[in-house]
Amino acid sequence: MTTACVSIWDAVQNHIVKKIGMKRHNLWMKHTVLKSIDDTTALIGVPNLFIQAWLEKKFRDDLRDSLKQVVGKDLAVKFVVDGALFRQMRELQDREGVTTLISRPKAPLLAESCALNPRYTFKRFIVGPSNQFACEMALKLAQSKSRDLNPLYIYGSIGLGKTHLLHAFVAEYKRLHPDEVVTYVTCEHFVNQFVTAVQTGRTEGFRSNYRSTDVLVVDDIQWLSGKKASQQEFLHTFNALTSRDRLIVAAGDPYPRNISGAADALVDRLASGITARIDPPDYATRLAIVHARAAELKRPVPEGVARLLAERFASNVRELEGGLLKILAFHSLLDKPLNEHMAADILRTERTPAAAGRTSLENIVRTVAAHYNLTAEEIKSNRKTRSLCLPRHVAMHLAKTCTRYSLKEIGAHFGGRSHASVLQASRAIEGKSSADPSLAEALRTLKGSLGLVANREARDLRPAAAIT
Ligand code: ADP
Ligand code: MG
């Protein structure tokens, strides 16, 4: 920063203070600098992305105005995150013991966090022997912030409530500690943000953002498998947070040791606090889940129907819920009271592994959708965003290689695609999975969850080894 910049910025700040008041200025602009200025643009350095977003949204016009008053020209205002400013802000706060809104916004860093499902609360989580420990640990950590429970890693097969518990933890934590910053992200989001930050030269901003959170909650940690640079970055974030006693909660399908292509350090860190496994729920818990969900939908079901569902869907709560929704949807078209015979008939229309000796296409769609945190409709849609294409191709690939449906039938199920598109999608996944261990792992996990064995790959007979 040149001396000219310093004096221009001093003058601009004086101006701004008059406009917005000292309090707001101190809150948002105390740690900013004018990094450069030319005929068209003023580049302003800020300590983190949160402040940048706030300045852009609330104060861009004021800044432009004040700059115009000082330099006599209408300039475009741009921002850049500057790691040195972040450190300077932190040091000052540590020294003064200041807890300002700048580092403790009441709201989470929304731009950086993923959305929470408001239905995923502790109240709605049915506890049984299979998930009791995980649930208790998550609740206890939210209530006590006990460092003994830090980090908490929840793991288990797909559809057993890991994401539900993470969202419940975040909601409860925010309720109990409203002044703290809680960042919830899927690991995929973390990785994508990191890659973008590297590509755009904004790693400092990325880092300062993640390292200034009080609690970091990361879902689907297996997404890191085989991604060396992202793992390294996650480890640095992890270390930076835990060394300052910040909390970390993560969830993933495999036990840390079984995350394929995970660095030893990552495995050690994830296993260094509490690891809590969720198993498939027992019969009584499944029954309770069906009744609770039906009551919530204001469509209570007879005991026989609940039993039928609990017997039929033993290994995945998402599928259990899916079975209930299917019965309720069909039943609403009929003008007869619901009973277990009718429910069995409705379920028979779906080719479940037990019923037809092969997995239904809809089962594959739903399981893949759940794995990638999408809806079945998104998988089957025509939208071509990258985050949808890969899961869609994975689903088509599983359908092609692990079921006896024809390419035409598969294409028809996936939103009316041609048999050539199915073939192309499947080949693309075959190619990618041999070069991408995380994709290979995802395929294995999905096949395990679906109880699938590839038609042509006898060597793939091993179960989803990662799930312990
Ligand atoms: P995972 O992240 O382990 O794949 P999710 O958290 O997405 O699983 O859970 C799948 C579905 O099952 C969600 O709709 C969730 O609300 C529901 N679910 C799972 N376990 C329970 C439970 N114990 N009580 C109530 N609902 C549950
Ligand atoms: Mg999940």
Identify whether the C-beta of residue 45 lies closer than 8 Å to the C-beta of residue 208.
Answer: no
Tell me 216's DSSP state: E
Q: What own/partner pairs with CB < 8 Å and gap ≥ 24 does 122-129 have?
A: 122/168, 122/172, 124/164, 124/168, 124/292, 124/296, 125/161, 125/164, 125/165, 125/168, 126/281, 126/285, 126/288, 126/289, 126/292, 127/285, 128/281, 128/282, 128/284, 128/285, 128/288, 129/282, 129/285
> Relative to the CA of 126, which ligand 1 atom is closest?
24
Its sign, for the CA torsion 450, 452, 457, 460, is positive
Identify the pLDDT of residue 18.
81
Closest ligand to 281 CA? Answer: 1
Nearest CA to ligand 1 atom 13: 318
pTM here is 0.59
Q: What separation in Å is there between the alpha carbon of 265 and the centre of ligand 1?
A: 30
Substitution site in 318, 321, 375 for ligand 1 pocket (most atoms within 8 Å of beta carbon)? 318
Percent of the chain's residues with pLDDT above 70: 88
Nearest CA to ligand 1 atom 5: 161
Question: Residue 218: which H helix or E strand, with range?
Answer: strand 215-219
Q: What separation in Å is there between the alpha carbon of 321 and the centre of ligand 2?
A: 15
Nearest to 234 by CA among 258, 107, 259: 259
Identify the pLDDT of residue 452.
67
Domain with CATH 1.10.1750.10 in the chain: 361-461
Fold designation for 132-278: Rossmann fold (3.40.50)
183 forms beta bridges with 216
> Looking at per-residue confidence, does 447 or 293 come out higher?
293
Nearest CA to ligand 1 atom 19: 161
Nearest CA to ligand 1 atom 21: 161
> Looking at per-residue confidence, does 84 or 338 come out higher?
338
274 forms beta bridges with 152
Identify the pLDDT of residue 111.
35
Identify whether the C-beta of residue 223 lies closer than 8 Å to the C-beta of residue 188.
Answer: yes
Substitution site in 217, 317, 366 for ligand 1 pocket (most atoms within 8 Å of beta carbon)? 317
Q: Residues 14-29, buried b or exposed e (16+ Cβ, 10 A)?
A: ebbbeebeeebbeebb
Identify whether the C-beta of residue 154 lies closer than 8 Å to the C-beta of residue 250.
Answer: yes
- The model's pLDDT over 210-235, given as tens digits with 9 standing for 90+, comes to 998 999 999 999 999 889 999 999 99
Nearest CA to ligand 1 atom 18: 161
Compute the mean pLDDT over every residue in the chain, rounded to the nearest whole number. Answer: 85
> Looking at per-residue confidence, does 215 or 1 come out higher?
215
> Relative to the CA of 317, which ligand 1 atom is closest?
12
> Relative to the CA of 117, which ligand 1 atom is closest?
16
Q: Is the pLDDT of residue 395 over 70?
A: yes
Rg (C-alpha) for the chain, rounded Å, is 26
Question: Angle at Cα 108 formed by Cα 131 and Cα 217, nearest 5°?
Answer: 30
Torsions phi, psi of 426, nearest 5?
-65, -40
| Virtual torsion, Cα 312, 316, 318, 319, nearest 10 deg | -30
Fold designation for 3-96: GMP Synthetase; Chain A, domain 3 (3.30.300)
Tell me 155's DSSP state: E
Domain with CATH 3.40.50.300 in the chain: 132-278
Structure tokens that stand for 443 in this block:
């395929």
Domain with CATH 1.10.8.60 in the chain: 283-349
Question: Residue 70: which H helix or E strand, with range?
Answer: helix 60-71
Q: Is the pLDDT of residue 463 over 60?
A: no
Rounded to an integer, the average pLDDT of 378-403 is 91
Q: What is the pLDDT confidence band of residue 256, given thresholds at 50, 70 and 90?
A: very high
- The model's pLDDT over 156-205, given as tens digits with 9 standing for 90+, comes to 999 999 999 999 999 999 999 999 999 999 999 999 999 999 989 989 98
Rounded to an integer, the average pLDDT of 92-118 is 51
Q: What is the pLDDT confidence band of residue 236, given thresholds at 50, 70 and 90?
A: very high
Structure tokens that stand for 52 in this block:
């940048």
Q: Is the pLDDT of residue 355 over 80?
A: no
Nearest to 52 by CA among 213, 202, 237: 202
Q: Tell me the C-alpha distance between 205 and 72, whole Å.
A: 31
Q: What is the pLDDT confidence band of residue 3, given thresholds at 50, 70 and 90?
A: low
- The model's pLDDT over 435-450, given as tens digits with 9 standing for 90+, comes to 887 788 788 778 766 7
Strands across the sheet containing 76-81: 33-37, 41-46, 76-81
Identify the pLDDT of residue 51.
85
Rounded to an integer, the average pLDDT of 309-320 is 93
Please list, in sequence order, all residues whose beta carbon lies within 8 angstroms of the beta carbon of residue 358, skipping any fewer than 6 positions away. Answer: 351, 403, 404
Q: Is the pLDDT of residue 20 over 90?
A: no
- The model's pLDDT over 122-134, given as tens digits with 9 standing for 90+, comes to 999 999 999 999 9
Q: Is the pLDDT of residue 98 over 80?
A: no
Structure tokens that stand for 382 in this block:
């025509």
Q: Tell me the C-alpha distance between 95 and 92, whole Å.
A: 5
Identify the pLDDT of residue 156.
95
CATH of 361-461, one of 3.40.50.150, 3.40.50.11540, 1.10.1750.10, 2.60.40.10: 1.10.1750.10
CATH of 283-349, one of 2.60.40.2550, 3.40.50.720, 3.30.70.1290, 1.10.8.60: 1.10.8.60
Q: What is the pLDDT confidence band of residue 109, given thresholds at 50, 70 and 90?
A: very low
Structure tokens that stand for 346 in this block:
């409705």
Identify the pLDDT of residue 2.
67
Domain with CATH 3.30.300.180 in the chain: 3-96
- The model's pLDDT over 129-148, given as tens digits with 9 standing for 90+, comes to 999 999 999 999 999 999 99
CA 165 to centroid of chain Cα atoms: 12
Q: What is the pLDDT confidence band of residue 360, given thresholds at 50, 70 and 90?
A: confident
Pocket of ligand 1 (CB under 6 A): 120, 124-126, 131, 158-164, 289, 317-318, 321, 370
- The model's pLDDT over 59-82, given as tens digits with 9 standing for 90+, comes to 888 899 888 888 888 899 998 888
Closest ligand to 167 CA? Answer: 1
> Relative to the CA of 120, which ligand 1 atom is closest?
16
- The model's pLDDT over 421-432, given as tens digits with 9 standing for 90+, comes to 999 999 999 988
Choose the most confident range, by mean pLDDT, from 96-110, 368-382, 392-406, 434-448.
Answer: 392-406
> Looking at per-residue confidence, does 302 or 383 come out higher?
302
Rounded to an integer, the average pLDDT of 306-317 is 94
Q: What separation in Å is there between the alpha carbon of 219 and the centre of ligand 2?
A: 7
Q: Tell me the C-alpha distance between 167 and 249, whole Å.
A: 11
Identify the pLDDT of residue 235.
96
